[in-house]
Amino acid sequence: MAELEKLSVDVAAQEMLKKAQAEGVETIFDRAEKMKPCPIGEEGACCRICSQGPCRVPKPKKAKEGEEQKKQATGVCGATAETIVARNFARMVAAGAAAHNDHSRGVALLFKEVAHGRAQGYQLKDVTKLKQVARDYGVALTVGEGEAAKARSKEEIAQELADKILAEFGQQEGELTFIKRAPKKRQEIWRDLGVVPRGCDIEIVELMHRTHMGVDQEYHNIIKQCTRCALSDGWGGSMISTDLQDILFGNPVPVAGEINLGVLKEDHVNIIIHGHEPLLPEMIAVAVQEPEIIQYAQNKGAKGIQLAGMCCSANEILMRHGIPVAGNYLHQELAIITGAVDAMVVDVQCEMQALANVAKCYHTKLITTDPRARIEGETMHIPFDDHHALDVARQVVREAIDNFPNRRSPVMIPSASHPTIVGFSYETIRYLLGGSIRGSYYTLNDNVIGGRVRGVAGVVGCNNCRSMHDNAHLTLIKELLKNDVIVLTTGCSAMTCGKFGLLTPEAAVQHCGPGLAEVCETVGIPPVLHMGSCVDNSRILMAATACVKAGGLGNDISDLPAAGAAPEWMSEKAISIGHYFVTSGVYTVFGVTFPTTGSDILTDYLFQGIEETYGGKWDFVEDPLEMAKKMIAHIDKKRAALGIDKARERVLFDMEMRRQLEAAAGAE
Ligand code: BF8
Ligand code: SF4
């Protein structure tokens, strides 16, 4: 095991790794050391889509002087490195978009059952948002004409809306409804290029078809379908998930929370909810508050029940209920190693199979709840059923309580945990910026134009065991704040921010440049705004669109002084997200490694060529400080193009002058 301090910057993680080591329990960090990534696969240069391969086409070494440069090999069918690498990239986009779009289908199916009153425990909570989405989908809010018009019930509206949304998954032609939410200019770009997604399913199927042996073998054309598919995620599946979840569970508003392994309690039954779909977690949150359940836990000798989240399910229940978070992706094994987790309840995505082994070393019950995601080994399966979700939730909680007396020693819970303020949905930011009457993004734009806020960055995405846990997120974000760049965050990145105190209003004075600090103090917000889970990256798209529509910062997302990053990405979802940000006009930088480096031609296209068409582009930078530098340079380039670079210089001069004045005053 490498030095623990080099594996994570999080002391709670370090403590648990030490415990694991002492107890002989293997974690992802040990396995990562034993298994080095295949260098050819890492750069996307291995094709195994037919049984004549696998064909490996790594870049040939640079020729020495006087030698002839060797050509890059092709696969045995003649597929070039460009085709092979593009196909691999495309399949990542397809799988990532599939994960989000299938998530949203599940939410839409539940939404339909709730609308018909067939889903135990759920309600239509946010009627304002329901009406908003209904308008988007052309669902009438009233029946009858003129004075005889009568308002339809929320159930009626929701029933029709559910059918329309569900039909869109299988739609064969036309356009996804939410495409209309994008800035006009962006919509025109997509239409001119023929990349507007038709439905949520068809784009994934077509992309998989086109990457089958002997189909699409022109890399621009493959990437074009990647775009259509990724847009069906960002402006389709992910946006549908976010909006329907808001309608069902409530649109997040600022709420206090707590994050890191220290939220677990030794004398309580600890239940960790891990995964992505908040459907069952919402009911578990209800079940743990029921007096009979609490009594049941007390009868077993526990003081109470502590519910905590992990990964994106954590973000969902944190944002809406302030339920504490035990940690991000690389914490999942570590939480069990505390010895205090009585049940870990998982649904879909980002759950390591190794959890089953780690759980076996302790007393933890690993409970799978989704028929699409079973885990081999001594796990328990309690399937989610939307007609009886509360009963299922109660059963899950009772399993955890029954397991409380089985704890083995030693239990050790790190003390680290940090308070957070979360829940900055796109609508909440609008409200906070302008108050309820004149709520809008004008205020943000004014501050950007005036130079107090230099620009906006979306920093999102995973942890990756190939890079020091949380380090890149933290270093990058701190550097952005120092340079007056406000940060919007989701996913595991948001949890990193929480753990290190960046999700509190006090962080503004501590970490921001003078301009951003002043704005945050005036509005009373943290300098890093937690916008939710990974499907909630759609909230960032909406916030960017709102900035465009508020005026003064150009006509399109690509005009904004903004940039995106996923410095510790690892999942295919991240690639789909990255690609919809790029093709929505955002400069997007990934860290750790980049899956197309096996073809210089394709990589150049993604890092440069694509900007001509979409105004956004990909980039790859390993070092987080360098990443910040490039993002800030991009923001400054956009400021110059908008003609607002001068304003910033003036503000900085003013601040400097103010400091000098203060110093002079102090000296007197
Ligand atoms: O959807 S950031 S590790 S938990 S994939 Fe997974 Fe990555 Fe975390 Fe959420 Ni998103
Ligand atoms: Fe090799 Fe071509 Fe088959 Fe890929 S499709 S494995 S490059 S023969």
Confidence of residue 435 (pLDDT cuts 50, 70, 90): low
For 409-435, what is the mean pLDDT? 89
630: pLDDT strictly greater than 90: yes
Given this model, what pLDDT does residue 4 score? 87
Q: Tell me if 419 sits within 8 A of 262, measured CB to CB.
A: no
439: pLDDT strictly greater than 90: no
Locus of tokens 């040939």: 60
Give the tens place of pLDDT for each residue, 80-124: 999 999 999 999 999 999 999 999 999 999 999 999 999 999 999
Give the tens place of pLDDT for each residue, 399-409: 999 999 999 87
Tokens read off for 208: 């998989």
633 CA to centre of ligand 1 in angstroms: 28
More confident residue, 158 or 426: 158
Give the number of whichever ligand sits closest to the CA of residue 83: 2
* Residue nearest atom 3 in ligand 2 by C-alpha distance: 50
More confident residue, 650 or 137: 137
Give the tens place of pLDDT for each residue, 49-58: 999 999 999 9
Given this model, what pLDDT does residue 668 score? 36
For residues 223-251, one letter each, b for 16 or more C-beta atoms within 10 angstroms of the residue's C-beta and e for the rest, the string is bbbbbbbbbbbbbbbbbbbbbbbbbbbbb
Give the number of whichever ligand sits closest to the CA of residue 350: 1
Given this model, what pLDDT does residue 655 score? 59
Mean pLDDT value across the chain: 94
Separation of alpha carbons 315 and 494, rounded Å: 8
Among 302, 210, 213, 252, smallest CA distance to 531 is for 252
Query: Is 311 touching ligand 1 by the criterion CB < 6 Å?
Result: yes
Q: What atom in ligand 1 is closest to the CA of residue 461? A: 2
667: pLDDT strictly greater than 50: no
The reported pTM is: 0.95
Query: Is 534 touching ligand 1 by the criterion CB < 6 Å?
Result: yes
Among 98, 577, 529, smallest CA distance to 315 is for 529
Q: What atom in ligand 2 is closest to the CA of residue 83? A: 7
Strands (E), 398-460: 418-422, 455-459
52 CA to centre of ligand 2 in angstroms: 6
Query: With the C-alpha atoms ordered 324, 329, 332, 334, is the resulting torsion angle positive or negative?
Result: negative
For 453-482, what is the mean pLDDT? 97
Given this model, what pLDDT does residue 114 score? 97
310 CA to centre of ligand 1 in angstroms: 10
Q: Which residues contact 451 (CB under 8 A, 6 or more apart)?
A: 515, 644, 647, 648, 649, 650, 651, 652
Tokens read off for 165: 């949304």
* Residue nearest atom 2 in ligand 2 by C-alpha distance: 77
Among 204, 195, 226, smallest CA distance to 87 is for 226
Among 247, 516, 462, smallest CA distance to 349 is for 462
List phi, psi (to 5°) of 486: -75, 145
Give the tens place of pLDDT for each residue, 196-210: 999 999 999 999 999
Confidence of residue 641 (pLDDT cuts 50, 70, 90): very high
Confidence of residue 227 (pLDDT cuts 50, 70, 90): very high
657: pLDDT strictly greater than 70: no
H/E run at residue 310: strand 305-310
Given this model, what pLDDT does residue 2 score? 60
Which one of 102, 330, 349, 490 would you pick to mutate in the ligand 1 pocket, going by the greatest count of ligand atoms within 8 A of its CB? 349
Strands (E), 171-217: none
Tokens read off for 108: 């839409």
For 202-230, what is the mean pLDDT? 98
Given this model, what pLDDT does residue 434 score? 72
User: What is the layout of strands, in order, in the sheet containing 418-422?
Assistant: 380-381, 365-368, 341-346, 269-274, 305-310, 325-327, 255-259, 418-422
List phi, psi (to 5°) of 107: -65, -40
Separation of alpha carbons 26 and 34, rounded Å: 11
441: pLDDT strictly greater than 90: no
Separation of alpha carbons 504 and 520, rounded Å: 10
Given this model, what pLDDT does residue 666 score? 46
For 359-381, what is the mean pLDDT? 96
- Could you give the dihedral angle defined by the CA atoms of residues 578, 372, 103 and 92, in that order, rounded to the nearest 10 degrees? 20
591 CA to centre of ligand 1 in angstroms: 15
Q: What atom in ligand 1 is closest to the CA of residue 350? A: 6
Which one of 40, 57, 72, 77 would you pick to mutate in the ligand 2 pocket, going by the greatest count of ligand atoms within 8 A of its CB? 77
Give the tens place of pLDDT for each residue, 485-508: 999 999 999 999 999 999 999 999
H/E run at residue 343: strand 341-346
Given this model, what pLDDT does residue 430 score? 85
**% pLDDT > 70, the chain:** 96
74 CA to centre of ligand 2 in angstroms: 9
Query: Is 329 touching ligand 1 by the criterion CB < 6 Å?
Result: yes
Among 484, 302, 507, smallest CA distance to 400 is for 302
Give the tens place of pLDDT for each residue, 129-185: 999 999 999 999 999 988 889 999 999 999 999 999 999 999 999 999 999 999 999
Helix axes 219-232, 572-582, angle to 10 degrees: 100
Among 501, 494, 476, smallest CA distance to 563 is for 476
Give the tens place of pLDDT for each residue, 443-461: 899 999 999 999 999 999 9
Given this model, what pLDDT does residue 147 score? 87
Query: With the C-alpha atoms ordered 3, 469, 573, 607, is the resulting torsion angle positive or negative?
Result: negative
392 CA to centre of ligand 2 in angstroms: 47
393 CA to centre of ligand 1 in angstroms: 24
Query: Is 73 touching ligand 2 by the criterion CB < 6 Å?
Result: no
Among 170, 189, 174, smallest CA distance to 227 is for 189
Give the number of whichever ligand sits closest to the CA of residue 490: 1
3-state secondary structure of 461: coil
